[in-house]
Structure 1
Amino acid sequence: MALSLSLARLSLPRSAPLAAAPAPAAGAKNHPASSSLAFPVKSFFGAPLAATAVSIASPLARKPATSGSTSLEVVAAGKKGYKMKTHKASAKRFRVTGRGKIVRRCAGKQHLLGKKNTKRRKRLSKMVQVNKSDYDNVTGALPYLKVNRKAD
């Protein structure tokens, strides 16, 4: 807060003291920028802002209350549901085929390969389908995965 106030003071000319903003016209609505600031309304970089004589109607403005209604209406404008997060370690281990199957790598192909014969190493190199009983675990960790549960 102190930083923003000092930056606002820096944008003023040295000779001009801090003065109250001029009073608005009789028919104009009070604008918060014109009534609460003790220095001329300028942007962060010192350029004057656009004229604020016209009040812009907010889409969230309150409607006049009717005399017969006593219920309160709460409108959440622009609020969306919770965005689920992808488990990034799982995202690196599983992928989906074109038909919607979840596949993974086989275990046992990282180290100690000298004692494993060529046929076994070749078999471990292939991608295998995740068991259907584990689909709920994988889709829980990866909520945006496009899975076809009916794929063979």
Structure 2
Amino acid sequence: MASSICFMRLSSSVPLPLRCFHGVRVSPSPMTVSLKKKLSSSKTLSGSPLVLPKSLSPIPSPSQKASKLAVFAAKGYKRKTHKASAKRFRVTGRGVIVRRRSGKQHLLAKKNTKRKLRLSKMHPVSRSDYDNVIGALPYLKVNRKAT
């Protein structure tokens, strides 16, 4: 949780830390009050310095070199996969896009066994359709040289 430090003046000249949690002030412990009265310097509060560490400091130190700062180029937009196409196309081990043949869904009684077996097998996508399939499936691992 982020908290800020508030100061409250007592009769002494030493400021005492009060922790503020979303507008609610919490008083310091009696041990902290007795320690603060004994301290001659108010540079540290409850044992921790008020200065930010160098790693959290927004101002770069002179010891940091400009060569250590890396600038990353902005990436392009993420493309979405067309989910209907993802269910219809697969890639073989050699990177060839394959699809199913049409005509195997209904009216199977009048089709002979040899025809139904041929329609069951996967068929490679023609080269003229490669650009359309790859456009719908941008993250598909495809061998473009395969035919």
TM range, smaller chain = 0.5 to 0.7
Shift of 1:149: 1.3
Partner Cα separation in structure 2 for residue 142 and residue 62 of structure 1 = 45
Does the C-alpha gap of structure 1 residues 149 and 92 become closer, same or farther in structure 2, counting only changes over 3 Å?
A: same
1:2-41 matches, within 5 Å, as 22-23=6-7, 37-40=22-25
Partner Cα separation in structure 1 for residue 97 and residue 124 of structure 2 = 6
Partner Cα separation in structure 1 for residue 120 and residue 86 of structure 2 = 19
SS of residue paired to 1:23: strand
Other-structure match for 1:55: 52
**TM-score after normalising by structure 1:** 0.55
1:90-105 matches, within 5 Å, as 90-105=85-100
Does the C-alpha gap of structure 1 residues 122 and 79 become closer, same or farther in structure 2, counting only changes over 3 Å?
A: same
SS of residue paired to 2:6: coil
What is the CA deviation profile of residues 35-64 of structure 1, one whole-angstrom value per residue up to 9, with x for unaligned ones? 7941258xxxxxxxxx895635458x3669
Other-structure match for 1:123: 118
**TM-score after normalising by structure 2:** 0.56
Partner Cα separation in structure 1 for residue 128 and residue 95 of structure 2 = 16
SS of residue paired to 1:113: coil
Partner Cα separation in structure 2 for residue 145 and residue 99 of structure 1 = 13
Other-structure match for 1:81: 76
2:102 to 107, 113, 121: 107
Matched, 1:144 2:139: yes
1:135 to 130, 134, 142: 130
For structure 2, the residue ranges without an aligned partner over 5 or more in a row are 9-18, 27-47, 62-69
Higher strand share: 2
For structure 1, the residue ranges without an aligned partner over 5 or more in a row are 1-19, 25-33, 42-50, 65-74
Partner Cα separation in structure 1 for residue 49 and residue 137 of structure 2 = 49
When Rg is computed on C-alpha atoms for both structures, the one with the higher figure is 2
